[in-house]
């Protein structure tokens, strides 16, 4: 069964292929839910937190449960909503520098998974290439 969001943006910002089968890619991305990491950008220390949700019906997103990740439950395609909160850790405290929402469409291509990334809105902060780097660079 496909888990798609009917309001997925028609224009995607970036498309790439992940070299893992569909179910493996879905489990990998789901494991990044509530993941926190820190990185240095220039002279600042930045904390990045991810929140990942999956299309429940064609109109809303919900939490990813272990039942959804069983093989065969989701086939062909799945849409995910990824919220990225980036905070600069400064002497005065935490300063938000990005609070972005991305939509990911995972499409099964047998031995690999195609991923389309679309950002909600056009504001400052992270872009689709940053989202790709988070997906490819996290825990690898």
Asked if 56 contacts 76 with a C-beta cutoff of 8 angstroms, the reply is no
pLDDT of res. 138: 54
Number of domains in the chain: 1
- How many Å apart are CA 14 and CA 117, to the nearest integer? 5
In which domain, by residue range, is 132 found? 14-137
98: pLDDT strictly greater than 90: no
Query: Would residue 90 count as lying in a domain?
Result: yes
13: pLDDT strictly greater than 60: yes
Look-up of token digits 């179910």: 23
pLDDT digits (tens, 9 = 90+) for 102-114: 999 999 998 999 9
Query: Would residue 102 count as lying in a domain?
Result: yes
- How many Å apart are CA 22 and CA 28, to the nearest integer? 10
pTM for the model stands at 0.88
Query: Would residue 3 count as lying in a domain?
Result: no
Query: Would residue 66 count as lying in a domain?
Result: yes
């Amino acid at each position: 069964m496909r888990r798609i969001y009917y309001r997925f943006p028609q224009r995607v910002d970036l498309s790439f292929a992940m070299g893992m089968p569909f179910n493996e890619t879905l489990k990998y991305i789901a494991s990044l839910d509530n993941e926190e990491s820190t990185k240095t950008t220039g002279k600042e220390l930045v904390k990045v937190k991810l929140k990942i949700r999956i299309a429940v019906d064609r109109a809303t997103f919900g939490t990813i449960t272990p039942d959804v990740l069983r093989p065969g439950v989701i086939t062909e395609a799945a849409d995910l909503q990824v919220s990225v909160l980036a905070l600069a850790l400064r002497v005065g405290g935490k300063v938000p520098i990005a609070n972005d929402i991305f939509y990911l469409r995972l499409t099964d291509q047998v031995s690999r998974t195609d991923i389309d990334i679309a950002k909600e809105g056009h504001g400052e902060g992270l872009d689709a290439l940053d989202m790709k780097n988070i997906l490819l660079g996290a825990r690898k």
